[in-house]
Amino acid sequence: MVDRDISTADITLIDVLNSACKQASETKHRALVVVSGSHEWAGQQQQNLISYLSTRQQTKTSSYPFLWLADAGLDSRAIKPRQINQWLGREVQFVVMDSFVGFHPDSFGAATGLIPAGGALVWIIPALASWPAYEDPEYLHFIPQGQDPRRLFLQRLRDCLHGVSNHWLFTAKGLIHQPSVLSGNESGLRSFYSQTYANAEQQCVVQEVIGLVNKHKAQPIVLTADRGRGKSAALGLAVGLLLEQSPATNKDPLSLLATAPRKQALAKLWQHASEVLQNDQQHQSEGVDLGTVGQRLMGPSGQLGFSSPQDILQERPEVDLLLIDEAAMIPVPILTKLVMAYPKCVLASTVHGYEGTGRGFAVRFQRFLQQHFPRFQQLTLEEPVRWAVGDPLEAFSYQALLLGANPAEVKPTKHFQLEQLTLTWLDAKDLIANEHRLNQLFALLVLAHYQTKPSDLRQLLDDPSGRLLVAEWQGQVVGTLWAVAEPPLPEALREPVWLGQRRLKGQLLPQTLTYHGGDKLAGCFAYLRVMRIAVHPDWQRIGVGQQLVKKTYLYAQQAQFDFLGTSFGLTGDVLAFWLRCGLSPVRWGLSSDAASGVFSAVMLRPLNDQAKSSCLSWQQEHVLSLRYWLTAQHVAFHTVGCEVILPWVSACWTQGLSNHITTRDWQLIAGFIQGQRGLQLTLPAIANALAYWLANTQSYQQLTPHYWEALIRLAWLQETERQVACKLKFNGQKSLCAELRQVMQNLVFQ
């Protein structure tokens, strides 16, 4: 509420901010202060506010720093919105976000999580009436060259602001809107610094974590919570209580280890552990101050250390408990290795986070845990502790960015038939006109892909190249396919793209096949690329996904695209799906993705004769290149299982592969089969023939996957006979050679 002694005509942005924070402190909420107007006026307001906040910080009037997200080139105090990850895990009383430099949804969502009760987000935006038409610089990051954005995301954002009443709106005309006066939160928020626990939920989590240390046959604990629920604080409290105990005379000191995708993400955990230990003057720590994380934190009964996930797997230290914070942001292959190596661990993850990974993580990773650790514990924190229930900033961000979107609660009936599904192509305008459908659809995208972020919502609404297919049953969304049209590369740019001198926004398939595939002709084709496909968990494995792809294939044909294609993180189950849908492998990336830990893959289905001819050529070149990289002991490829290599290579059928096997190769292989040559002397010839055998359907069916894996490991991955015999459980090296002689006879003399 604006103070009584401030007249409406004379009120300043600083007055509004102080009044907003006063009300927020009384209600234990955070304030959303929207500053809307012309670029010149808003820029002046912003500069005045930053000067005021800088003075407060210099005079230590405020115990919290402030964060300014703006054009970093204009002022050293500002950082670019996309650099906000540097601040994650810290607390700031004020965030000033300048959206004239571009509204980045992920940064906005992240910024709201940094602010505690009593703080405020000051959001600088263009005049509301003209905001949807604003030439937002963010379009440069995702709109294909030469295309105009739909401009629907900013329209929806403005509508969300109009639809809520709990924000402050300041314009050149003064204070236009302010929230109603709310009664103070009677229960208040308990301070982490005056009491041990914030609530009973947190106490329960802390006790379970402490108890895990003493269990002999421990199972992992999975802790999930929305932001602001005290998840990291609970881990820190558990660590502090474990380390402050008097050391037992008959036990070794406790060794606790914490890890996260970024060291700074552990700041809250480190801080609360340090706060508990400060009661003991003898403890030593590195990184006690707010916002800092040291390499170790020591207490009477042991120490807490920090290591990156990769260092832990490489060094394999002995620890009594492993704490993994923001687990959903760690690549799943790394995460599974961590849990298998350290089953006495706690995996904590944000559910509705700005990174959009928590819910998908919970669904997918639970399958792994149920298989290997059927008695793992699932704990949740529901009650907010950093702000009170009903927080305006949380409510707005959840609605505007769909952070709280949930899938439909619907299951197929016993007699359900696929023909009962309604498959509809939707325009982006259809989505913003039906918020219920948009929520269900985006929730599926989040569940299906760990990297789905609020920025994907913006691309979904604004990218004119997008095509959206929705599968519905009884009015509920049960599946969706999101594709993008990628036209031929401009003729003048094909050579620069092939040389690696140019990279265009969008057009992933023509560019990657031109540059990485090395064929200039690839840039002449038009592609419809499936970017995401998502099916409701209760509707999977009954053909919904294949129905979506089938309808998309027919659309691509009618729209005269040359290829239906996709690019994805290569895993066995996803590969199997696309093979069932009739797509063929044409490219396998040479390095694993930093976020997923898996390799990228490109698969295509040609839609005309010219495309089919090129596709066959690309497949043959790809198999020969892949064989080289595997044989050359490309270290990263050794993380890929043969359950991926086998179906991938076998799907690259082309008769031309036989031309790469010489008469001499066949003679050497025949000599091995007849017992006249040793296996090691024959492996170069087997390596030449292996691609042809795998890609030849008739040959491929002659051997079981067990023997194909043995040949791949020996001839391509260059593992020793002893290693292969041990991994694949042959009865020694002699048995391995004898069995290979027998089964390979079918390949050569069929």
Residues annotated in the binding site for ATP, as ranges? 202, 386
Cβ-based neighbour number of residue 258 at 10 Å = 26
Q: Is 301 exposed, middle or buried (0-12, 13-18, 19+ CB in 10 A)?
A: middle
Residue 115 amino acid letter: I
CA dist list (Å): 235 to 26, 217, 231, 240, 278: 28, 21, 7, 9, 17
Helix 609-631 vs helix 642-650: crossing angle, to nearest 10: 140
Separation of alpha carbons 7 and 569, rounded Å: 59
Count how many residues are written for the chain: 750
Helix (H) / strand (E) containing 563: strand 563-569
The answer to whether residues 613 and 602 touch, using CB atoms and an 8 Å cutoff, is: no
| Whole-angstrom distance, CA of residue 574 vs CA of residue 598 | 12
Cα 175 to Cα 9: distance, rounded to the nearest angstrom: 9
Q: Is 706:695 a contact under the CB 8 Å cutoff?
A: no
| Known binding residues | 202, 386, 533-535, 580
Longest CA–CA span in the chain (Å) reads: 102
CA dihedral 128, 14, 20, 103 (to 10 degrees): 40
What residue numbers does the annotated binding site for acetyl-CoA cover?
A: 533-535, 580
How is residue 284 written in tokens? 């030593």
Is the separation of the CB atoms in 480 and 534 below 8 Å? yes
Number of helical (H) and strand (E) elements in the chain, helices listed first: 26, 20
Q: Are strands 584-592 and 599-606 parallel, antiparallel or unpaired?
A: antiparallel
- Residue 460 contacts residue 482 (beta carbons within 8 Å): yes
DSSP H helices, 449-490, are 454-462
The answer to whether 658 and 623 have CB atoms below 8 angstroms apart is no
Q: Which residue has the tokens 């096949």?
A: 513
* DSSP for residue 428: H
Distance, CA of 327 to CA of 178 (rounded, Å)? 39
702-705, Cβ contacts within 8 angstroms, sequence gap of 24 or more:
702/743, 702/746, 702/747, 702/750, 703/743, 703/746, 703/747, 705/642, 705/643, 705/646
**Separation CA 163–CA 166 (nearest Å):** 10
d(CA 208, CA 381): 13
Q: Are strands 221-225 and 345-350 parallel, antiparallel or unpaired?
A: parallel
